[in-house]
Each structure stands twice: as C-alpha cells, then as structure tokens.
C-alpha cells in the first residue's frame, strides 16, 4: 500500500538570541516570571531585513539536503504560517521563488499552531491518492515583528519566537506497517466559536469600510490578543482528546509510542497532557525552553532537534498533538 514517509527534517532560526532577562528592559517582566508560567528561557528574533520566507527557505534547503532529494523532484510545496511576508500572494509562492521550483502547486495553510499537522494531513492525502510523490512541507514564523513589546502586550509577547522547520514527505510502498516508516493517520478539528479568544483583529475586511482603520491602529488592534485562561482550559482538554483519537484509530496505547513531539505553546500544557497519559518524561521531547512558541514551526523544529540529538531514529513510532487559535486542534501518529 502507498503511504507517506518523512524522509528527513530541517530547521532554521535567526541569529539574534533573546533571553528572558533581555525582555525586562522592554516591559515589566522577569526571567522567573516567564519560566514559572511558560517554561520558556529564551527565543530567537529576526532582524529587520529577514522575512518569514527567508527562514522557510533555509529550513527547506536543509531538509532537502538531509533527504538527499533534489529540488527538481518536489511535486508540491505546502507552507504553514500566520506571519507571511505579505498579505498576498501566499508564503508558499515566495518560498517557491527563492528555492527555484517553478510550476508545481504552492499552498498556504493558515491554521496557526496546528498548521504543520494540517499540512501533513493534506500532503498525506495527495500522496495516498497517487497524485504526488514528493511534497515539501514547511512551517515558518516571524512573530517578533508583530508583537507589542511593552508591558501592555507582555502576556503574549513573552511566549513567541521566530523560526522555521521543514520535512520532505515521499510516497512509500509499505510492506510491513509495523516496521516501515510512514504516516499512520492524522486527525484535524476546529471550532470557530472561540475564534476571538486568540486573534489579531486587523487589518482586515471585518473591521469596517477600509481594511486598515488608522484610529484602531493607534490603539494596537494589529497586535495579537489572547484570553489566556480560555486557551489553557481548552488546550488541556482538546490535546488529550485528539491524541487519544489517534491512538484509538491505530489500536495503540501510550506505551507503544517511542517519542511524543507536541506543539510547544506552554510547558505546563505539555506536562499536563503527559501526566494524563502517564507518559514518562524521557519520552516527551520539548524545545520551548530554547525557541519559545514558533507556532506552525514548533513540531518540525522539534523533530529536527530530536533527530540531531539522537532522540529520534528511523523506525521509531512518534505521536504529535497541537492546539491553537481558531480554536483548532490536531494529532498525528507516524513511524519516522
């Protein structure tokens, strides 16, 4: 049977390291305050000349190199982001231009923190159907250019970092599902009832007669706003639900999984999910301490870090789950 295999991973972050103490010069916060509430110790922020597609392209190049796949073999590009270079065209088109892969379809996924798993799910369907054989997926974000770096925006600003992670997905004739590398299943959900609990109000077509309301701009409507309590409550409910959905669909138990690579929004959320399933600490691979929340990039960055550190090896069974703005939530189980 034809299934999708992750051939290799790649990641890239900007050079500018921003530690928690660095933020205390911008706003009323401290290293202790951030660590206790989020687990974050540092993050990377891009400079003025770097765009999201720049980070994405570097991650893609590394993934292609690690997969030993020439760019000419790629049949499709899928880019997940909430911070594209421009309002339109989509990020994937700019990534395509900079990589030099004209002609193949280029698709943007705007599902925020679940963007990478949504992208995997879409790519997996194209490959299972026989439409494409090799798909390049990248999650990339530059949050730092859109954050309120004052005490007013502190609760959101301390959470986010910039970065990109990519994978090369390829068709594989799976003879032994218990040994061969492939995506077993993906599970995606959303509930727009809570869309305004974590969002950016504008600019946009929903703000009035013009896309840009300059009075609201002065009030900071272009900065992200979050109902932190609502997000936390729903995350610790939906992530275990969707993880269990994936386990049940594949007749698996938590102990059958070799490594858990969750979305990195808050270390407390991941710890609570792990506790609900009695997952030992050594089986959960977290990167939020180093990179903060890079939204669509957290899971592919985690996969690449796990590979390079020796924690993830070919043949291991991996489970991922994510929750984010929308609200959206998703999971995937795959043999790396």
- The domain ranges of the chain are 2-173, 182-335
What is the mean pLDDT of the segment spanning 20-24? 96
Q: What is the CATH number of domain 2-173?
A: 3.40.47.10
Catalytically annotated residue among 66, 263, 266, 286: 263
Per-residue HEC secondary structure of 75-137 comes to: CEEEEECCCCCCCCCCHHHHHHHHHCCCCCCEEEECCHHHHHHHHHHHHHHHHHCCCCCEEEE
Catalytically annotated residue among 113, 187, 234, 270: 113
* pLDDT for position 32: 96
Q: Which ranges of the chain does DSSP label H, i.e. alpha helix?
A: 20-23, 31-38, 52-67, 91-99, 115-128, 154-157, 214-218, 228-249, 267-276, 288-291, 298-309
Of 238, 236, 166, 160, the C-alpha closest to 200 is 160
Does residue 9 contact residue 167 with C-beta atoms inside 8 Å? Answer: yes
What is the mean pLDDT of the segment spanning 61-69? 98
Instruction: Dump pLDDT digits (tens) for 233-272.
Output: 999 999 999 999 999 999 999 999 999 999 999 999 999 9
* Same fold yes or no, 2-173 and 182-335: yes
* Structural fold of domain 182-335: Peroxisomal Thiolase; Chain A, domain 1 (3.40.47)
Catalytically annotated residue among 20, 66, 266, 293: 293
* pLDDT for position 143: 98
pTM for this one?
A: 0.97
* pLDDT for position 154: 95
* pLDDT for position 140: 98
Does residue 61 contact residue 10 with C-beta atoms inside 8 Å? Answer: yes
Could you give the percent of the chain with pLDDT greater than 90?
99
* pLDDT for position 99: 98
293 part of the active site: yes
263 part of the active site: yes
72, two tokens? 């000419």
* pLDDT for position 58: 98
**Cα 77 to chain centroid, rounded:** 16
60 part of the active site: no
Could you give the percent of the chain with pLDDT greater than 70?
100
* pLDDT for position 44: 98
Task: Report d(CA 60, CA 101) in Å as an integer.
Answer: 12
Give residue 105's pLDDT band: very low, low, confident or very high (50, 70, 90): very high
What is the mean pLDDT of the segment spanning 125-154? 98
What is the mean pLDDT of the segment spanning 213-232? 95
How far CA 185 is from CA of 19, 128, 297, in Å, comes to 37, 11, 20
């Amino acid at each position: 049977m034809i299934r999708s295999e992750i051939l290799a991973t790649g990641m890239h972050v900007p050079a500018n390291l921003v530690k928690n103490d660095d933020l205390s010069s911008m706003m009323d916060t401290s290293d202790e305050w951030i660590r206790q509430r989020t687990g974050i110790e540092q993050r990377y922020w891009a400079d003025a000349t770097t765009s999201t597609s720049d980070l994405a392209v570097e991650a893609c190049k590394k993934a292609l190199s690690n997969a030993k796949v020439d760019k000419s073999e790629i049949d499709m590009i899928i880019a997940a982001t909430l911070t594209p270079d421009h309002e339109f065209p989509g990020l994937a088109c700019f990534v395509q231009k900079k990589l030099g892969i004209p002609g193949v379809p280029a698709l943007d996924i705007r599902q925020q923190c679940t963007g990478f798993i949504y992208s995997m799910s879409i790519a997996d369907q194209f490959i299972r159907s026989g439409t494409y054989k090799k798909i390049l997926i990248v999650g990339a974000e530059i949050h730092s250019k859109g954050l309120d770096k004052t005490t007013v925006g502190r609760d959101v600003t301390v959470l986010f970092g910039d970065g990109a992670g990519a994978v090369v997905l390829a068709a594989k004739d799976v003879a032994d599902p218990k040994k061969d590398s492939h995506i077993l299943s993906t599970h995606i959900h959303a509930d727009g009832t809570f869309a305004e609990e974590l969002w950016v109000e504008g600019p946009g077509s929903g703000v009035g007669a013009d896309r840009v309301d300059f009075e609201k701009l002065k009030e900071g409507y272009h900065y992200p706003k979050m109902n932190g309590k609502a997000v936390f409550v729903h995350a610790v409910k939906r992530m275990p639900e969707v993880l269990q959905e994936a386990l049940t669909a594949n007749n698996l138990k938590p102990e059958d999984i070799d490594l858990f690579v969750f979305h990195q929004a808050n270390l407390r959320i991941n710890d609570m999910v792990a506790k609900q399933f009695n997952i030992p600490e050594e089986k959960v691979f977290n990167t939020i301490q180093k990179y903060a929340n890079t939204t669509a990039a957290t899971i592919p960055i985690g996969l690449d870090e796990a590979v390079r550190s020796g924690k993830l090896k070919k043949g291991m069974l991996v489970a991922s789950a994510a929750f984010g703005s929308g609200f959206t939530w998703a999971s995937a189980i795959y043999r790396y």
